[in-house]
Chains A and B, each alone.
Chain A
Amino acid sequence: MNIRASLQAPGRGFRLWLLSVPALFAATALLVSLGLAGAGIGIVLVPAAVVAVRRLADTARRLTGEWTGHRVERPYLPEPAGPESAWGRFLRLVSDPATWRDLAWLLADPFVAMFTALLPALLLLYGAWGWFLALGGGRLLVGYGMNDWYAFVHVHEGYGDDLGVVALTAALGTAFLGLGLRYGPRLLDVYGSWAELILGPTEAARLALRVEHLTETRSDALDVSAAELRRIERDLHDGAQARLVAMGMSLGAIEHLLDTDPARARTLLAQTRESSARALHELRDLVRGIHPPVLADRGLGDAVRALALDHPLRVEVNVDLPERPDPPVESAAYFAVAELLTNAAKHSGADRVWVDLRREGGALRISVTDDGAGGATLAGGTGLRGIERRIGTFDGVLALTSPPGGPTTVTLELPCASSSPKT
């Protein structure tokens, strides 16, 4: 039994149940505004109520996810990109099945939560009450005329005199405490299943959300790869290609000079050799930017270690990858880490960086932490948005924590198989 989870469950369950209070208000607001829809004013009120309901439901989703381990996704139909008329907005919200499911949640959750999430806390309270009675509280209250039952123990006049009854009360109290602790996590888990069922998306909503996400990331992916091809074309055109042309011309000149001015031909030859070495160097850099050789040879772990070796800061790399992820995922992860390391060197003022690569469930989890000044934001032109967009193509997500004063941690999570999950 996980003691920590057992101790946390009652408090968490209680707080989940507390959501019932605003839920009651929200349900009333929603029902009233729906009732006023016929009178016209509801057209404006319903969207306002729905926004409030969704905010509350989002809180419940977040807490459920954090505390019960049941990840509850948002089920709502996507907002249209352009402007929307009041009537259109009303229709969209009313025709979204998620709105009605939210309403069902608002009405049913107080009861469901009481018998699941709240139960551990109730059991603990009742157990504590038993001990209070046994330890003298019972005798005291009976003195004030108490005549009540604790489970099946009758607490009435003369209660404190029979030690056997007092011991039984204490034993019952202990049993309730034990039950509350023993089954707390399991009851929270039951509540989590309920929340997942009612607050999570239906199959149709899931598909709609997925289509939207894929459309967006596909166009991002196309933009990124088109820009990449343009860069490669330009690099080749201005670099290696130009040098080869120059070398061809030099060789022509050398051929001509060979008989007339051998000394000059010799200097020109040396220059040409220099030029060919430089062309190779440029091609090498270009290939490194497309697909680094160590990544191809050894996979992500060693490729990141190689990055760390060449990094100006002290970088510690920790790798726990039982098998190599798919090549496209590997490559996206590599370039993301490379960019994060560059960021750390450029912006953070850090001395040390820690990179952690591990497989968690079906996902590749990467965290890059530096001991720099912190205060980084996604928007601050740090390129984090770009990284987020690129890993978005693989359904990857990026999380940033960077309090002022540091440390800064960027966490990436990428599903290991590059093909989209079958939804």
Chain B
Amino acid sequence: MRVVLAEDLALLREGLVSLLEAHGCEIAAAVDNGPSLRKALLDHRPDVAVVDVRLPPTFTDEGLQAALAARREVPGLPVLVLSQYVERLYARELLADGTGGIGYLLKDRVFDAAQFVDAVRRVAAGGTAMDPEVISRLVARGGRDEPLARLTPREREVLELMAEGRSNAAIAQALVVTERAVTKHTANIFGKLGLAVSDDDNRRVLAVLAYLDRDR
């Protein structure tokens, strides 16, 4: 798996390089600013880009903008955005084209190397990886949402993990239940929320995210 990495702090950049290399990724380029990132993405066409939101020269959301711009030129280019903060507004913009291959995680998630690399792989494969904090805020805001209120606590847990982008197998493992049980829960959730059931994992996640993020 070839990765382009953009992170302006040298210490973190090197840390990420060694972490990803240790888990069998090939670093095609590691850059430290927005313009080089755009160039590297178009030159190398990596399997996935791991990008810090805040990059020079503007130190605003340069990384996010560069990633969105690259995705407009290379549709579906998988991008995992890392940030010290997660904002629903940014999550919404990343998901706007509805094609998946998007990740948006707090930098803290790097602490758990195995989970982080799993998220990178998922995004590279066209899936999604949303930070639990984004999801919990989405779900919390749906507090007065009728269909959401009808979910059982367990179904809600499954919903949150599903919205993060985890597969049934991963959800089963996280909740220590069988995969069959998870399948049953997801069917219930889709029924209660009135969403069309899809066999495609990726499409399923996007449907759930769209449901949670819709304007009420």
**In the complex, residue of chain B having the shortest beta-carbon distance to the beta carbon of A308:** B89
Contact A305 B89 (CB under 8 A): yes
| Across-interface contacts of B87 in A (CB, < 8 A) | 293-294, 306
A4 on the B face (CB < 8 A): no
B143 on the A face (CB < 8 A): yes
With A288-B85, A297-B60 known to touch, is A273 a contact of B111 (CB < 8 Å)? yes
B61 on the A face (CB < 8 A): yes
**In the complex, residue of chain B having the shortest beta-carbon distance to the beta carbon of A302:** B89
| Centre residue among A284, A297, A298 by max chain B CB count within 10 A | A297
Residues facing B in A258-306 (CB within 8 A) are 273, 276-277, 280-281, 284, 287-288, 293-294, 296-298, 302, 305-306
Task: Name B residues whose Cβ lies closer than 8 Å to a Cβ of A.
Answer: 53-54, 60-61, 84-85, 87-90, 92, 107-108, 111, 137, 141, 143-144, 216
In the bound assembly, the distance between CA atoms of A297 and B59 in angstroms comes to 8
Some 9 contacts from A to B, beta carbons below 8 A apart, are A277-B111, A280-B108, A281-B108, A284-B85, A293-B54, A294-B87, A309-B141, A310-B141, A314-B216
A137 on the B face (CB < 8 A): no
| Across-interface contacts of A284 in B (CB, < 8 A) | 84-85
Residue interface mask A337-374, B partner, CB < 8 A = 1: 00000000000000000000000000000000000000
**In the complex, residue of chain A having the shortest beta-carbon distance to the beta carbon of B213:** A309
**Nearest CB of chain A from residue B57's CB, rounded to whole Å:** 14
The total of Cβ contacts below 8 Å across the A-B interface reads 44
| Across-interface contacts of A78 in B (CB, < 8 A) | none
Task: Name A residues whose Cβ lies closer than 8 Å to a Cβ of B.
Answer: 273, 276-277, 280-281, 284, 287-288, 293-294, 296-298, 302, 305-306, 309-312, 314
Contact A297 B61 (CB under 8 A): yes
| Centre residue among B84, B92, B108, B143 by max chain A CB count within 10 A | B108
With A296-B60, A297-B61, A312-B141 known to touch, is A306 a contact of B89 (CB < 8 Å)? yes
| Centre residue among A276, A288, A294 by max chain B CB count within 10 A | A294
A306's contact among B84, B88, B111, by CB below 8 Å, is which? Answer: B88
**In the complex, residue of chain A having the shortest beta-carbon distance to the beta carbon of B142:** A312
| Across-interface contacts of A281 in B (CB, < 8 A) | 108
Contact A309 B61 (CB under 8 A): no
| Across-interface contacts of B60 in A (CB, < 8 A) | 296-298
In the bound assembly, the distance between CA atoms of A276 and B60 in angstroms comes to 25
B89's contact among A294, A311, A312, by CB below 8 Å, is which? Answer: A294
Q: Sorted from nearest, which 5 A-B pairs have the closest CB atoms?
A: A297-B60, A297-B61, A306-B89, A309-B88, A293-B85
Contact B108 A293 (CB under 8 A): no
| Across-interface contacts of A314 in B (CB, < 8 A) | 216
Contact A310 B137 (CB under 8 A): yes
In the bound assembly, the distance between CA atoms of A294 and B64 in angstroms comes to 12
